[in-house]
Structure 1
Amino acid sequence: MCNCNKRKACTTALGVIGVTLFVIFIVFPAVWRYSPSLQRSMLFLNRDFLSEVQNYSHPEVYGLNGTRNFYIHTNDNVTLGVWHVLPRNLLTNYTAENELNYEQFLSHGEPIIIYMHGNSDARTNEQRVELYRKLQDMDYHVIALDYRGYGDSTDVDIIDETGLVSDVMQTFKWVYERANGTPIFGWGHSLGTGIGAHAFSLLEKENIYSNGLILEAPFNKMSEAIRQYSTAKAFRNLPWFDFFIIDPVIENGNIFDTEENLKDAKMPVLILHAQDDLIIPYHQSEKLCSYITKFRKNTLTDIVLYPSEYGLGHQLIVRDKTIGNTIKKFIIYCLKTESP
């Protein structure tokens, strides 16, 4: 009787394991391949990690003084929520009630940084606000936008690379028209590096040039980021991995090939990556730097890697004690270099 019960228990356990393996290795890959909506929901976590209360209209709630909340209307009927954080040295000169002051100050001369966040949360994110404050203290303008589908920007049925890149391009043009020659930089984090690299390279093709691009925790291309992601380790060496997992993402227009987008770009590029980043391994930054350096012989491509013992991971490079000097050095270099 005991042996019989053991056999039954063993058979049941094997059955559960078999079903689990079937779901993981057969059902999920098939569902992933033929479900663009599932792919988008995993790539663009636009409603994930949001706190229950968001106060986009009052940036001061987040400790951001001298910050204006406003909206940019795109040519495809999307409204983008944006914060403009003034440089610290201008805070004594602005009038909070006069929003025109903000636009006029864009041509005052202090460098402008357009911030492009990662694939989750919104411009109110704690670590992002921490970066805005640090850049403000360095006397830089910060333009922090939420892409379509994010924050309080227009909700859309489909989020994709084309739309996100368009949002950054139109935000850049809005700033460019008001900057009157003031230098403009981009800062992208995680997915924002892929968006920014694509957008800024397309702007160059329209003869609209930025002064430099900072890439924090970038990937070299989306296909590589997916392949190296922790949950893909069980699948990536299987013969069907590309067909079921990688190819459909590319076929549905979410390519984010930062290598190709930057290899002919004229703007100086600074790459920042922590070696203990568990979301995007720092080796992808090394690959990106190595690849684009081969093509950009006379254009700065620099990389700064932060040792694992610093504990900065994917989100906390802003807390490195030397980050301010690193950014200042890069921006000073860019300002001494003639624009194309």
Structure 2
Amino acid sequence: MLTESSIVGSCLLFLFALYVACPFLFYYCKRIRNAGMFANRLNIPHPWFYNLKDPSSFGVENAHNESLVLDVGEINIWSITTNVPRFKDDKRTVVLYSHGNSCNRAMSHRVGLYQKLSAMGVDIVTFDYRGFGDSTGVMPDENTTVHDADVMLQWVQDQFPDHNIVVWGHSLGTGITVKLLSSFDKYPDRLIGLILESPFLNSGEAGRHIPIAKIFDLLPCTKGVIARALEGLFPTDKLISKITLPILIIHAEDDRILPIHHARSLFGVCENENMKNVTLKVFDEGGHKFLYTNNDAMDAASDFIYEL
């Protein structure tokens, strides 16, 4: 006969087994690992309830949606035109924005950044990798997200033939953009710079700081499993020296998702490689997602774009 104590004991044993099993499933199962690395199922605002093809419904003005059909699936894009264009060398500037690992192009903190960039005088192109938002065709992984960023850079070159181009990556988007641009033998003439907002040194190091990893690190048998599972993905520290474009790194001291040591260590790598084209700007406040609310950070981005 089951007693209350035996039921409680069985439940605790089950929870302990699940606790131990989860990080090892993450380590050995690529599908589960990708689902954690590319949290595209955390799809907010969800396209079932919101029309992602209507940027005005999210407070984004002077914007329209484009759908780019690929061999497999499609990428959905917002193209945003500023009301107050600012010129550099008689050209307008367009920022190609590569977002982080969850939600979609309509997420509120991203919309806030578009609005600040638009007020800065630049046009913006933002998109969802296939598998994110209402972009379709694949389950995202390292290769598909970098490929989609590559396709989008070519699209921007074609659609904005008279613009200077700046690539802006945030969080996971920094790993994607660095991996893409490090593979170029020659950059397009109008590609003038790269901004890395809240970057990470590499995925393994990033995996040491995500909240769920810290939970699993409490036991010796599961300590470090999440970080080891992510090693080798997006090795920004090994690739960044291949980029010869001017680079601005911006990061907040109070970032709890990717602590500030990521930016400082990445900048240290650049210094060791004698890269003269990299600038690091650190700000007291802004967290991981809200640097756009920090006027000093936006001023640094504006100075970088228009002084290149």
> TM-score category by the smaller chain?
0.7 to 0.9
| Aligned-partner residue type, residue 127 of structure 1 | H
- Identity percentage over the alignment? 27
Match of residue 62 from structure 1: 58
Whichever structure has more helix as a proportion of its residues is 1
Matched, 1:149 2:131: yes
Q: Could you tell me which residue of structure 1 aligns to residue 281 of structure 2?
A: 304
1:120 aligned residue (102, 122, 131): 102
Q: What is the letter of the counterpart of residue 31 of structure 1?
A: L
> Does the aligned pair in 2 maintain the 1:235–1:241 contact within 8 Å?
yes
Match of 2:298 in 1: 324
Tell whether the 8 Å contact from 1:85 to 1:141 is kept in structure 2 after alignment.
yes
- Aligned mates of 2:59, 2:10 — CA distance in 1: 56
Partner of 1:102: none
Judge conservation of contact 2:23–2:222 (CA < 8 Å) in 1: no
**What SS is found at the alignment partner of 1:113?**
strand
SS of residue matched to 2:242: coil
Give 2:30's aligned residue.
36
- Give me the CA root mean square deviation: 2.6
C-alpha change, 1:51 and 1:130, in structure 2 (3 Å) is: same
**Judging changes above 3 Å, is the alpha-carbon distance between structure 1 residues 189 and 297 closer, same or farther for their aligned structure 2 residues?**
closer
Equivalent-residue separation in structure 1 for 2:291 and 2:40 (angstroms)? 22
Bigger Rg, which one: 1
Equivalent residue letter for 2:135 = S
Partner of 2:83: 88
CA contact (8 A) 2:198 2:263 kept: yes
SS class of match (1:303): strand
Aligned to 1:168: 149
User: Structure 1 stretch 325-334 or stretch 128-137: which is displaced more?
Assistant: 325-334
Residue 249 of structure 2 is matched in structure 1 by 271
- How many angstroms does 1:33 deviate by? 2.5
Most deviating of 205-214 and 276-285? 205-214
**2:127 equivalent to 1:131:** no
2: CA distance, partners of 1:234 / 1:131 = 32
Secondary structure of the structure 2 residue equivalent to 1:195? helix
Q: Distance in 2 between matches of 1:257 and 1:236?
A: 22
What's the CA shift string for 1:128-154, capped at 9, x where partnerless?
111111111111010001100011111
CA contact (8 A) 2:283 2:296 kept: no
Structure-2 change in CA distance of 1:78 and 1:109 (3 Å)? farther
Task: Tell me by how many angstroms 1:247 deviates.
Answer: 4.5
Partners in 2 of 1:173 and 1:317 — Cα distance?
Answer: 28
Q: CA offsets per residue over residues 104-161 of structure 1, 9 Å max, x none?
A: xxxx8211100111111111111111111111111101000110001111142x3111
Aligned residue for 1:88, secondary structure, equals coil
Q: Determine if contact 1:73/1:79 at 8 Å carries over to the other structure.
A: yes
Preserved contact between residue 82 and residue 143 of structure 1 (Cα < 8 Å): yes
Secondary structure in 1 aligned to 2:163?
A: coil
AA at the equivalent of 1:192: G
Residue 62 of structure 1, CA deviation: 1.9
Query: Structure 2: how far apart are the matches of 1:205 and 1:276?
Result: 37
**CA positional deviation for 1:30:** 2.8
TM-score by length of 2: 0.87
Q: What whole-Å deviation, never above 9, does each CA across 1:169-211 have from its counterpart, x for those lacking one?
A: 1110111134335211111111111111111222x22543631
- Provide structure 2 residue ranges, at least 5 long, that are not aligned to the other structure: none
Q: Deviations over 1:81-111 (max 9, x none)?
A: 0011112136xxxxxxxxxxxxxxxxx8211
Name the count of aligned residue pairs.
299
Pick closer, same or farther for the CA change 1:323–1:207 going to 2, 3 Å. closer
Give the Cα–Cα distance (whole angstroms) in 1 for the partners of residues 84 and 126 of structure 2: 19
- Is the CA contact (8 Å cut-off) linking 1:88 and 1:138 kept in structure 2? no
> For the residues of structure 2 that align with 1:11 and 1:73, how far apart are their CA atoms?
57
The residue that corresponds to 2:69 in the other structure is 73
Q: Distance in 2 between matches of 1:49 and 1:179?
A: 29
Distance in 2 (CA, whole Å) between partners of 1:32 and 1:264 is: 31
State the 1:34 CA deviation: 2.6
- Of 122, 126, 148, the residue aligned with 1:140 is 122
Deviation at 1:259, TM superposition (A): 1.2
Q: 1-side partners of 2:94 and 2:23: how far apart?
A: 43
* Cα distance, 1:227 vs structure 2: 1.6
- Give the direction of change, closer, same or farther, for the CA distance of 1:40–1:109 in structure 2 (3 Å limit): same
